Amino acid sequence: MAKRHAEIVGAGFAGLTAACALAQRGWSVRVHERGEALRTTGAGIYIYENGLRVLESVGAYDDAIKGAPFAHTREVRDDRNRTISVHRWGGSRVFSIVRQTVINALAAAANRAGVEIVTGSVGAIVSTDGELMLAKGEKRKADLVIAADGSNSRLRDALGLLATRKYLVDGCTRLLIDKTAEERASSDGATTVEYWSGSRRVLYTPCSETDVYLALTMLDSDDVAKATPVDKDAWKRWFPHLETLIDRIGPDGRYDRFDLIRLKRWSAGRVAVIGDAAHALPPNIGQGGGCAMMNALSLSVYLDREKDIPAALETWERAERPLTEHTQRISYWLGLPTTWPPAVRALTLKVAGRSKWLVKQRTRTALHRPTGT
């Protein structure tokens, strides 16, 4: 059989994972990234057992976790800095990692597999028979085109695949700060701490030998809290016990509003949509990237099993979509307490942290063994 060819638009977690997985299964693959370099925003990322298995499968694991601390415990603290729940990730892996390290690791694996990555190349229009038109006017014919162009995907929208896009009430500013000498000396892995104050949260996570990842979460209507550079005086008023931590914040930081995306279908003819373009979700259980990578890898597995491309894409969606939708639901529900009165929220989070059933629902995606691993 002649070598099959894929054109992929977007070199994020989804696009690069798909590129590695297809090239490793004998496809010729070209990836188009609109940026002039493979740069990712968003500071740090948690990658759980499921995503780590995908990284292993595509040969990017060792580079991705280099220097990243093993995140063994997650604590939640209420408005008075009292611990209300502690979750230990016994028996499964979680790493908190600098995002760029993961992208570099995936890009290196893609290069080793013979993928061509073209930067400064913008995908503009795609047709269901597998023709991709670039913004510069060139046309590329492929057996398969993959839209991995993020939550604002123009390829997806041009195909009319979007069913719903719900903007949520909250959003988040993410940034990295330098570790102190004491934090650098700690060799005890990473404890993540989520501090609450009203509708605002500070999530603290060591994520490399030199960096701490901070995620400041707030209502989208909270202009003071979502301002960048971060208004440190305001955040110190809301979190007086975190004054020295907040003082370490520099001028960088990126704010994003959370959203939830559902498609009518994940494919049309010879075009597949993956990652945030297909199923963006709020980050309350840190699984957007995990689902993006799982679905990118499984796509290549189904294409290997079934040579008829549209049929393979349908089987892939039928098999993989239910877990992604479960993940979206859980992540959405876990964001609801943001707007609740602090006492009700603290009680709910306490009960939720102790309920075996709820913990099982929350960790189902992380503990899932992805197709192809």
Per CB under 6 A, the list member of 6, 9, 177, 272 interacting with ligand FAD is 9
Q: Does 11 bind ligand FAD (CB under 6 A)?
A: yes
Instruction: Please report the beta strands in 56-156, taking only residues with DSSP state E, as ranges in sequence order.
Output: 71-77, 83-88, 94-98, 116-119, 123-127, 131-134, 139-141, 144-147
Q: Which of 4, 5, 25, 42 binds ligand FAD (CB under 6 A)?
A: 42
Residue 307 CB, shortest distance to ligand FAD, in Å, is: 26
Contact positions with ligand FAD (CB under 6 A) in 283-342: 283, 286-290, 292
Which of 49, 78, 149, 211 is in the footprint of ligand FAD by CB under 6 A? 149
At residue 148, what are phi and psi to the nearest 5 degrees?
-125, 45
Instruction: Assign 300 to helix, strand or coil.
Output: helix
- Residue closer to ligand FAD (CB basis): 13 or 195: 13
In 3D space, the residue among 308, 306, 295, 307 whose CA is nearest the CA of residue 266 turns out to be 295
Pick the closer one to ligand FAD by CB: 321 or 350.
321
CA Rg value for the chain: 21
Cβ proximity to ligand FAD, 12 vs 337, nearer residue = 12
Give residues 255-274 in contact with ligand FAD (rule: CB under 6 A).
256
15 makes contact with ligand FAD (CB under 6 A): yes
Instruction: Kindly provide the b/e burial profile for residues 64-98, where b requires at least 16 CB atoms within 10 angstroms of the residue's own CB.
Output: bbeebbebbbbbbbbbeeeebbeeebeeebbbbbb
Binding-site size, ligand FAD (CB under 6 A): 34
> Shortest approach of ligand FAD to residue 90 CB, angstroms?
20
Decide: helix, strand or coil at residue 94.
strand
> Does 200 contact ligand FAD by CB under 6 A?
no
Give whichever of 194 and 276 is closer to ligand FAD, judged by the CB atom: 276
Write the secondary structure of 308-320 as one string of H (helix), E (strand) and C (coil). Answer: CHHHHHHHHHHHH
- Residue 169: φ, ψ to 5°: -75, -15
Contact between 14 and ligand FAD per CB under 6 A: yes
From CA 144, how far away is CA 133, in angstroms rounded? 13
Residue in 12, 337, 370, 372 binding ligand FAD, rule: CB under 6 A: 12
Positions touching ligand FAD (CB under 6 A) are 9-15, 32-35, 42, 45-46, 122-123, 148-150, 154, 172, 174, 215, 256, 275-277, 283, 286-290, 292
